[in-house]
Structure 1
Amino acid sequence: MTPNMRAYAAGLLCLLFSTQLVSAFIREGCSIVARERIDPIVDPGNIAGHVHTIMGSSAIGPDATYASLRAGGCSSCQALDDKSAYWVPTLYMALKNGSFISALPQGGVRVYWMKRGMGKEKVHAFPEGFRMVAGTSTLRTYNASALEQRAIQWGCVGGKKDTFTPGFPTNAHCPLSLRLMLSFPSCWDGKNLDSADHKSHMAYPANIGTGKCPASHPVRTAAIMYEINWNQQAFENYRSLALKPSQPWVLANGDGTGYGMHGDFLNGWDVPALQKIIDVCGASISSGEISECKVARQQPAANVWNPAHGCHKTPLYNETTSGMLAKLPGCNPVTYGPISAGNKTCSATVPATFKTPVGYYGLVPPPGSPGLTTNPAILTNASGYNYVGAFSPIWSGRTSIQRDITSSIAGGRAKITTAKCMSACAKLGYKYCGMTGNTCWGNKQAYPTSKKISYDACSVPCLGSASEMCGSVKCYQMYAATGALASTNTTSSSTTTATHSSSSVAASSMKASQLMKKHLKSQRSRKHRRATA
C-alpha cells in the first residue's frame, strides 16, 4: 500500500467511524429538481462551465440568492423549511464513439446534517446568505495530505465487501450502487458568508468530520455530507462500448478520475427552524431520519421520492443534458491526469435562454411553459384557440355534446398535434375542442366547471410532436376559439365509436370529405338516421 493510500485509509476510517457509530446526525432526502449548466456560486449571472445535478429549491438559477431560493415555488427536500440548493457535477458514461450517456442518481441525494461539536460546544445553523464549495473541479490526481480530498469518497456497494476509494473504483461491478460520499467543512470564520475561492471562509476540523476547529475558524457549524447512489448495474450492458471499460465514468467537467468531484451548497433554510432541528434532534434520534424529528415540518414522502409527484423546474437553457449526448455540454474534453485540467475556454455556442423558469410538482410543467422536447408541455394557444383547462372526460352520453374528429387530421392519431386538432375543429365549426390522449374532439359546448381537474393529469405527449401534451384518457385538455368561426357545426353526422382504455382510441384513416359522402349515402338508403354529436 502506498503512503497516499495508507493515509487515505486512515482518514476514511475516522470519517466512517464518526458517521456510522455516533448517533449525532439528521438526514433528509432531496430529489433532483434540474440538470442544467447552472452554478450561482462559481459562475454567478452566467451559464456554468459544466452540467450539474441539482436538488432543493426550484428557484435555482445563475443569480440565485437566499431570498430567491426562499421564494421558490417548491423544494425537492423532505423538510418544508429547507429551500436550499445542493448540486454536484452530473455523471456520464463515456463511449468509444465519442458520445456520452447520462447516469441518474437513485432518487437524488441524502443530505446529512451532523452535530459534531467538542463536548458542550455549540453547533450552529448556517446564516442567511451562506454558501460554500467542497472539492476542486480541476484535480486529476490524489494528495492524501489534503483534508479536502480525503473528504470525498467513491464506494462500490453491494459486493462481498463494500470498498471505498478516493477516485472512481476500477474493475468494479457494484451490485447495489456506485456511491459518492462528499463531506463539507464545518468550521467557519464567523464573519464571511462567502470568500473569493468559496472555500477559505470555511475549514475542516482535525479529523474531517470530527475534531477541533482551527483557531482561524472557531465557529462550529453543522457538518454537511452528501450521499448519492447511482445504479451502475443498469449500465453494465454498455461497458464493452465504453471508452475505458475498466472505469467507464466521467463527470460533466470531463474528469475521468473522480478526483475532480465537488459539491456546492447555497443556504435556503429557515435558519431558526434548522437550529431547532440541530438542537432537538441532532443527537437524539438513533436512525437519524428527519421523519422521526417531531420539530421538523415535512412534506409528503411521495413529493420527494416519486418523480410523478416531486418538485421540478422548467429549464432555463435550451440545451439537452440527459440521455445520449454527442458531447459533454460546454468545453469539457475528457482528461485522466495526472496534470490538473486547468480552466477551459472555447468558442462553443451558448444555448438560447427560455423565459423565467417556474417550479412545479409532478411530471407535467404548467401550461405554456417553454422547454425541451424531452419535457413536453401543454400549449396555451394554437390555430386560433386558447387553452381553457383540464377536465375529467365525459364518456357516458358523450355523443350529445362532443364528437371524435381525429379522422379529420391528416395522418390521424399518429400525426396529431395541438395545432392540427384545433385546425380540424375550426374547419368543422366547433367553438370548443380538445384532446384525450391523442384523440381529438369537437365540442358543442364547454365542459362544466365541476369537471375541472389539475392540468398535470394531461400527461400523454402528442404522437405528432414530442414537445406537446395531448391530454390523457383521464384528462380532457380543452381549448376555446378566440374569434368567430367560419361556420357553426349543426349538421348531424356519424360519430366514431371509441373504446377508451390505456391504449386510447383507434383512429380511422377516412378523410372528412369521405365521411360526409358516406353519411349522405346512408341518408338515402335509410328512413331513420342516427343523430350524433
Structure 2
Amino acid sequence: MKSLSIALALAAPVHAGLRFGCSSLTIQRLDPVVEPGNAPSSHVHHIVGGNAFNATMTGDVGARATCTTCEMSEDFSNYWTAVLYFKHPTNGSYHRVPVVNNAALAPNTKGGITVYYTPHDFTTDDLKNQPIKAFPPGFRMTVGSPATNSLDQAKGHIGLRYNCLQTLINRGPEMVDFPDRPCPAGIFAVHHFPACWDGKNLDSPGIYNTIRMDGFTNAPPCPASHPVRMPQVTYETVWDTTKFNSMWPSGTPNPFVWSFEGTSGYGTHADYMFGWKGDSLQRAMNKSECFYDGCGSITKQVMTEANKCTVPDMVGEVTDGWLDHLPGMAM
C-alpha cells in the first residue's frame, strides 16, 4: 500500500493542510469534554498536546498552556482516545498496550498520535464563498461512542476504522472491528472528525459530517445548516500489540479491549479540544499551495523539547502492568 503522503498527492488537489506528530502527554482517567470536572472519569485515556489539560477545560486553552508535546509549537490543543488493553486469555488479567511512533514522524517523537488538519475537495467558487475557517477558542468535539455495540452502528461511524499492520507503511484493508488474528506490526486506529460547523455551538451538537465513505477522502461541501467549513481533524494511533501476539492462542477470539471493556472494537472514540495560539491555525489554512507544515507558517519545535512537556498525575492510580481489572471497571 502506498504511503499516505503519496496517496494524498494522487487524490483531489490539496488546498492546505498539516500533518505532524504529538508525543504522549499523559495516560489518565480524565475526559474534560465528555465528563468535565470528574476526576477520575469512567475510563482511561491516552492524551497528547498542551499542558493546560485538566479535568475541566473551557475558554481559550491556547492562552493558558505553556508547552505542548506536538511538533507544531503553537498548537496547545489536546487530542485523546481510549487506551487499548490486552486481556489475558487464560487468567483474565489486563495489560496496557504501548503506543509506538507512526511512520515518517519527526525524530524523537515518543509514541503519541499523528494529527492531520486536511482540506476539503472544493471547487474554486466553493473556496471563495466559504473558505476554510479555524476553530474558535473553547471549541471541542467528539467522534464515536463507547456505547456502540453492534456492527451496523459501527459502520455508521464513518472514518473510525482499524488496520492490521504488516509494517508501518503497509497497512492492509480498513476494518470496522479489531483484527481477528495477530498483526505483524501492531493495530492501527484512525479517527476522522466531521468538517462542518453550525457556527454557534462550541461542542459536538454543532458539527456535521458530509463524508459518506471511509479512507482519507476530502469532505464534500457543507450544508446550509452547518455552513462553516473547518479543517478536517484526523488522528492516527499505532498500538504495539506485537509483544502480546505469542499469548494469543491460534483460533481464539481477539484478546484486545478498549479501556471501557466491551467485547469488540465498535466503541472506538476520540475527543478534541482546540487550543492553537492566536491565529496560527488560520495562517496555515490560508496557505493554499502546500501540505504538512503550512509552508513554514507554523513554528516547529524539535521533539526533544516537546517531550519535556508534562502534566501532573491528577488521579493517582495504576494504569500499567498486569492488572486484575481495568481502571474504573472493578466489579
Task: Tell me the TM-score normalized by structure 2.
Answer: 0.83
Structure 1 SS opposite 2:226: coil
Among residues 140, 164, 170, which one is paired with 1:156 in the alignment? 164
Q: CA deviation at 1:146?
A: 5.9
Question: Counterpart of 1:205?
Answer: 210
Instruction: Give 2:34's aligned amino acid.
Output: V
Separation in structure 2 between the aligned mates of residue 85 and residue 112 of structure 1, nearest angstrom: 13
Separation in structure 2 between the aligned mates of residue 131 and residue 151 of structure 1, nearest angstrom: 18
RMSD value, Cα: 2.5
Q: CA deviation at 1:71?
A: 1.9
Question: Counterpart of 1:88?
Answer: 81
Distance 1:233 1:203, change over 3 A: same
Distance 1:66 1:297, change over 3 A: farther
Instruction: Give 2:282's aligned amino acid.
Output: Q
- Give the gaps of 5 or more residues in structure 2: 1-5, 101-110
- Asked if 2 retains the 8 angstrom alpha-carbon contact of 1:31 and 1:76, the reply is yes
Question: Counterpart of 2:315?
Answer: 317
Separation in structure 2 between the aligned mates of residue 327 and residue 312 of structure 1, nearest angstrom: 27
Structure 2 SS opposite 1:55: strand
Separation in structure 1 between the aligned mates of residue 279 and residue 62 of structure 2, nearest angstrom: 16
Structure 2 SS opposite 1:302: helix
Distance 1:68 1:128, change over 3 A: closer
Question: Counterpart of 1:116?
Answer: 120
Distance 1:145 1:36, change over 3 A: closer
1:337-395 deviations in Å (ceiling 9; x for gaps): xxxxxxxxxxxxxxxxxxxxxxxxxxxxxxxxxxxxxxxxxxxxxxxxxxxxxxxxxxx
Instruction: Give 1:238's aligned amino acid.
Output: M
Q: Note the 1:363-442 alignment, pairs <5 A.
A: none
Among residues 112, 126, 138, which one is paired with 2:135 in the alignment? 126
Instruction: Give 1:253's aligned amino acid.
Output: F
Q: CA deviation at 1:177?
A: 2.7
Q: CA deviation at 1:219?
A: 1.0
Question: Counterpart of 2:3?
Answer: none
Separation in structure 2 between the aligned mates of residue 311 and residue 139 of structure 1, nearest angstrom: 34
Question: Counterpart of 2:20?
Answer: 28
Q: CA deviation at 1:163?
A: 2.3
| Structure 1 residue runs of 4 or more that deviate by more than 6 Å after TM superposition | 16-20
Separation in structure 2 between the aligned mates of residue 200 and residue 144 of structure 1, nearest angstrom: 18
Q: Note the 1:8-23 alignment, pairs <5 A.
A: 21-22=11-12
- Give the gaps of 5 or more residues in structure 1: 1-15, 334-533
Question: Counterpart of 2:96?
Answer: 102
Distance 1:142 1:169, change over 3 A: same
Distance 1:99 1:144, change over 3 A: closer
Instruction: Give 1:201's aligned amino acid.
Output: G
Structure 2 SS opposite 1:228: strand
Separation in structure 1 between the aligned mates of residue 184 and residue 30 of structure 2, nearest angstrom: 32
Determine if the alignment matches structure 1 residue 279 to structure 2 residue 286: yes
Determine if the alignment matches structure 1 residue 192 to structure 2 residue 201: yes
Among residues 289, 292, 304, which one is paired with 2:292 in the alignment? 289
Determine if the alignment matches structure 1 residue 256 to structure 2 residue 248: no
Distance 1:144 1:100, change over 3 A: closer
Number of aligned residue pairs: give it. 301
Structure 2 SS opposite 1:129: coil
1:182-210 deviations in Å (ceiling 9; x for gaps): 1000010111112xxxx221011143642
- Asked if 1 retains the 8 angstrom alpha-carbon contact of 2:163 and 2:175, the reply is yes
Q: Note the 1:215-226 alignment, pairs <5 A.
A: 215-226=224-235
Task: State, as a whole percentage, how many aligned pairs show the same letter.
Answer: 30
Distance 1:325 1:265, change over 3 A: same
Instruction: Give 1:302's aligned amino acid.
Output: T
Separation in structure 2 between the aligned mates of residue 23 and residue 75 of structure 1, nearest angstrom: 31
- Asked if 1 retains the 8 angstrom alpha-carbon contact of 2:62 and 2:278, the reply is no
Higher helix residue share: 1
Larger Rg: 1
Q: CA deviation at 1:321?
A: 1.1
Distance 1:183 1:104, change over 3 A: same
Question: Counterpart of 1:448?
Answer: none
Determine if the alignment matches structure 1 residue 269 to structure 2 residue 262: no
Separation in structure 2 between the aligned mates of residue 193 and residue 117 of structure 1, nearest angstrom: 24
